[in-house]
């Protein structure tokens, strides 16, 4: 029995049919590879949207000038910048302001925005689009590397330049641009639509998105039909062996935890140093920790990812990708080990295989001839499912093997999320909309996101099982992608117009099912 016949005969989703086939012995060896066929959607017609691209670009460029920076020190928060950006959005999108209910939420600081667009069918499951208004700082030592001032809101050489234009004000304002267009046309959604714009995504979202998610849950929302947040943009050459343009839809993300390692001892004069200094002992601890990497394993989202990516890749490696796609937790097979070896060759794909360890801060000393009495370091981890803070702390203590080093959790740690279902109407709606705007000559596939986004605060609740992440923007190359948190952040004016078109189309599509 072929998989499609099996699926139709019992009326179960595609991946459930494969699981049933595996258990019943239908798929094995050569048959596994034989059924490893393309999952790409076919026959979607281009549906470009006429957008006031020049006007929209100028509005986004102006939005960049508001320095809505999220600093690690939460007391260093520019309330005037956020209030100014709020006022700017309110006046720039007057139809949205008149038509949608607008609330300012957050705890302890209320600077996140919640817009509610009431649908014509109140009983239909609502949808939610998320983006964040805050941006990362621009280090002073990098200022001379910028071709344009990062907060000037410059349009030059066909690009909109500035901090936040890529991450993530482009998505904030593309959503509002599309809504403004729809309202002018007299359009109303069938499903109630929520727009949530967070204030502190770059530092974990504890004040903004978390509070908004809790608020919506308390208001009695039982289930969202669809939640969308930012993640990877469309881009060619993301994975080894995939040169084609790809649109990767996040279906899960790793967790987040930061630990402080510290040692407190005796300081003194540098003219008579001890055999082991506090700095030396802490540096040795970090070196031991980096040598004690967490083991590699294949996340369920990776299996989904390569069920979609694998058939489009090197035909000689199809058995390996099929083994990953249809594999299950337990002992790593020979083909899966080959896959792990290949994925481990780049930083991006290696991070998808295990809980990562990243020392990010080291502090000690105030003067060149004084031995510091203490030293501290911060290590950031992005956990795989099951690697709880307790598991990670125990791993660190065992690796360091020095009771003089204390370890404590200093973050609002979050676990890895559940895996959204790519065999769902919500995923297919995203897939279809992407192809309506950017065409069929690209690969659309699920993604395990190695970074974090505020989607986790919604996906952690029962009301948002179908939470997906993607930045609806086409980048030309990895060079542009380096603008995320880097220098010369920029997007093409023309592509920003397509982003607006994407939201315009998806508003229609999510209200059809």
Catalytic residue ranges: 134, 201
Return the ∠ at Cα 151 (arms to 146 and 156), rounded to 5°.
65
Q: What is the DSSP letter of 495?
A: H
Which neighbouring-strand residues pair with 114? Answer: 103, 196
CA 135 to each of CA 63, 250, 486, 503: distance values in angstroms, whole numbers, following the listed order = 12, 21, 11, 22
What gap in Å lies between CA 438 and CA 138, rounded to an integer? 32
- Rg, Å, the chain Cα set: 24
What gap in Å lies between CA 490 and CA 332, rounded to an integer? 42
Place of tokens 């690969």: 443
Q: What is the DSSP letter of 474?
A: E
- Give backbone dihedrals phi and psi of 29, rounded to 5 degrees, phi first: 50, -120
Q: CB neighbours of 275 closer than 8 A, spacing ≥ 6?
A: none
Q: Are 102 and 90 in contact (CB under 8 A)?
A: yes
Q: Are 32 and 19 in contact (CB under 8 A)?
A: no
The three-state (H, E, C) secondary structure of 375-395, written as one string: EEEEEEEECCCCCCHHHHHHH
Return the ∠ at Cα 360 (arms to 283 and 299), rounded to 5°.
110
Q: What is the DSSP letter of 270?
A: T
3-state helix, strand, coil in the chain (%, to 5): 40, 20, 40
């Amino acid at each position: 029995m072929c998989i499609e016949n099996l699926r139709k005969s019992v009326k179960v989703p595609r991946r459930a049919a494969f699981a049933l086939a595996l258990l019943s012995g239908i798929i094995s060896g050569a048959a596994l590879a034989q059924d490893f066929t393309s999952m790409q959607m076919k026959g979607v017609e281009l549906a470009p949207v006429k957008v006031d691209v020049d006007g929209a670009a100028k509005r986004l460029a102006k939005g960049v000038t508001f320095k809505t920076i999220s600093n690690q020190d939460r007391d260093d928060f520019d309330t005037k910048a956020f209030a100014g950006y709020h006022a700017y959005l309110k006046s720039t999108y007057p139809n949205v302001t008149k038509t949608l209910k607008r609330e300012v939420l957050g705890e302890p600081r209320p600077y996140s925005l919640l817009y509610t667009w009431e649908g014509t069918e109140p009983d239909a499951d609502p949808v939610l689009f998320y983006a964040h208004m805050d941006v990362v700082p621009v280090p002073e030592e990098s200022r001379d590397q910028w071709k344009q001032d990062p907060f000037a809101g410059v349009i030059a050489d066909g690009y909109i330049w500035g901090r936040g234009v890529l991450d993530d004000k482009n998505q904030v304002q593309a959503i509002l641009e599309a809504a403004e267009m729809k309202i002018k046309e007299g359009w109303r959604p069938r499903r109630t639509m929520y727009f949530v714009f967070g204030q502190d995504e770059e530092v974990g979202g504890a004040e903004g998105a978390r509070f908004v998610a809790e608020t919506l849950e308390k208001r009695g929302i039982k289930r969202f039909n669809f939640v969308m947040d930012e993640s990877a943009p469309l881009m060619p050459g993301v994975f080894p062996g995939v040169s084609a343009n790809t649109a990767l839809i996040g279906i899960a993300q790793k967790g987040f935890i930061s630990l402080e390692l510290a040692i407190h001892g005796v300081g003194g004069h540098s003219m008579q140093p001890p055999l082991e200094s506090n700095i030396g002992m802490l540096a040795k601890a970090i070196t031991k920790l980096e040598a004690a990497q967490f083991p590699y394993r294949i996340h369920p989202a990776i299996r989904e990812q390569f069920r979609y990516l694998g058939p489009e890749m090197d035909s000689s490696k199809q058995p390996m990708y099929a083994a990953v796609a249809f594999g299950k937790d337990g002992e790593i097979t020979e083909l899966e080990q080959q896959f792990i070896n290949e994925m481990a060759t780049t930083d991006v794909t290696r991070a998808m295989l295990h809980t990562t360890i990243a020392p990010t801060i080291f502090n000690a000393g105030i003067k060149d001839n004084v031995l510091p009495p203490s030293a501290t370091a911060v290590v950031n981890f992005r956990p795989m499912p099951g690697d709880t803070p307790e598991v990670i702390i125990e791993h660190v203590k065992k690796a360091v093997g020095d009771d003089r080093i204390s370890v404590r959790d200093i973050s609002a740690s979050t676990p890895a999320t559940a895996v959204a279902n790519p065999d769902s109407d919500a995923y297919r709606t995203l897939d279809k909309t992407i192809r309506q705007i950017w065409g069929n000559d690209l690969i659309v596939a699920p993604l395990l996101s190695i970074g974090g986004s505020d989607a986790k605060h919604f996906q952690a609740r029962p009301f948002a099982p179908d939470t997906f992440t993607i930045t609806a923007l086409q980048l030309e190359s990895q060079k542009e992608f380096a603008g995320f948190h880097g220098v010369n952040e920029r997007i093409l004016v023309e592509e920003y117009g397509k982003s607006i078109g994407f939201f315009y189309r998806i508003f229609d599509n999510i209200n059809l099912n």
